[in-house]
Amino acid sequence: MGLYETVLVLDAHDGQAHLVGRQDGPAAEALRTALARQAAHAHGAAERAADRREAAATACDTGSLHCNFRHDGYLRAVERVRDYIAAGDIFQANLSRRFTVAREPVPALPGPGYQQPWDLYRRLRRANPAPYAAYVGLGQGRAVLSSSPELFLDLRGGRVLTRPIKGTRPRRPEGAAPAGESAAAFNRRMRADLLASEKDKAELVMIVDLQRNDLGRVCSYGSIRVTEPRAVEAYATVFHTVATVEGRLHGGRDVVDLVRAAFPGGSITGAPKVRAMQIIAELEPTRRSVYTGSIGYLGPPTEAEPAGRCVLNIAIRTLLAAGPHVHLQVGGGIVADSVPEAEFDETTDKARALLAALGLPV
């Protein structure tokens, strides 16, 4: 877990930037220093941003692409999950593939604040805009770059909100649909197919039940409601079906209790959660690292917010930049009637926007 005392928040709703930190102690001094530095760099920022945008177009060499789960290996793993389901171990497990891109080093560009991972993040945001995006700089050319569409937890005023995602279909821009079919027609067909899928509906119902159970550990009896059972949301390269579950935190419980009860999110583990995670650890060749964890902020209890505050994403559509390598991971929920080839195709659809940000075809 990483905890940061000074955070820059870019609000997509009002277009404002907020630099947030404590009001006293060393963190307050760091906040004042950061504010002064930001003001000093404000002059000419537009010119520097234009330079970085131009550099970002070529900042990442296509390099070489490696996947820890090739086609046949992933299909065998899907069948193994189905065997566990048939044996009664689990109802569902999320199985993922990890890609690693090896890049040629790119010299740092002049100018205050330039970081190559930041420019890669900007490319990711353009290729895959998403509501729960985050950039976490780790120093020495290392960073977490997330463009996540999924809300794990939102706590404010004692009210808890979670929005699990299950169900995916490809979405195409104009000109990229199969021959003989417009992008609009292709997208209408994919949207309708997703809504009609009993398999995807069952996946989401299972995870909603799991999330309700997790929230039930810390929420008041009778307060948990599924306010939106299933809705389609459109993103750059995919459609998703999403549910909304709400509850009210029980008196005496706070944000730490909530995270402890619900983490990690059920949509990226499976059900039952612990056994699904054991099977994931057995079948996936590489430990997940930040992938399917959560990125966001936690605020301590205050007079205005006695239970504290938090907004946390599910760290999907997330890159890990580590020197000359960039790692990305994509997965999907496996259930009893999963078709292995279709599950493989779903991971490819999810990877498309991430690989586009690196300048790689998929």
User: What's 213's domain CATH number?
Assistant: 3.60.120.10
Burial of 33 (0-12, 13-18, 19+ CB in 10 A): exposed
Contact criterion met (CB below 8 Å) for 295 and 317? no
Question: How many Cβ atoms from other residues are within 10 Å of residue 108's Cβ?
Answer: 10
Catalytic site residue from 29, 54, 150, 282: 150
Give alpha helix (H) positions in 179-272.
183-196, 198-216, 255-262
**Domain that includes residue 308, residue range:** 63-357
Q: Is 283 helix (H, G, I), strand (E, B) or coil?
A: helix
Tell me the two tokens of residue 33: 């220093």
Q: What angle do CA 261, 265, 269 make, to 5 degrees?
A: 120
51 inside domain: no
pLDDT digits over 293-305, tens only? Answer: 999 999 999 999 9
pLDDT digits over 30-54, tens only? Answer: 666 666 665 555 444 444 444 433 3
Instruction: List phi, psi (to 5°) of 88.
Output: 90, 10
288 inside domain: yes
268 inside domain: yes
41 inside domain: no
Catalytic site residue from 104, 166, 181, 246: 166
Q: What is the chain's mean pLDDT, rounded?
A: 84
pLDDT digits over 240-266, tens only? Answer: 999 999 999 999 999 999 999 999 999
C-alpha distance across the termini of the chain, in Å: 32
Place 157 in a pLDDT band, splitting at 50, 70 and 90. very high
Total structural domains within the chain = 1
122 inside domain: yes
**Mean pLDDT across 194-200:** 95
Contact criterion met (CB below 8 Å) for 161 and 153? yes
Listed in sequence order, the residues at least 6 apart from 173 whose beta carbon sits closer than 8 Å to its beta carbon are: 183
104 inside domain: yes
Q: What percent of the chain has pLDDT over 90?
A: 61
> Residue 150 catalytic?
yes
86 inside domain: yes
Contact criterion met (CB below 8 Å) for 220 and 143? no
30 inside domain: no
DSSP 77: H
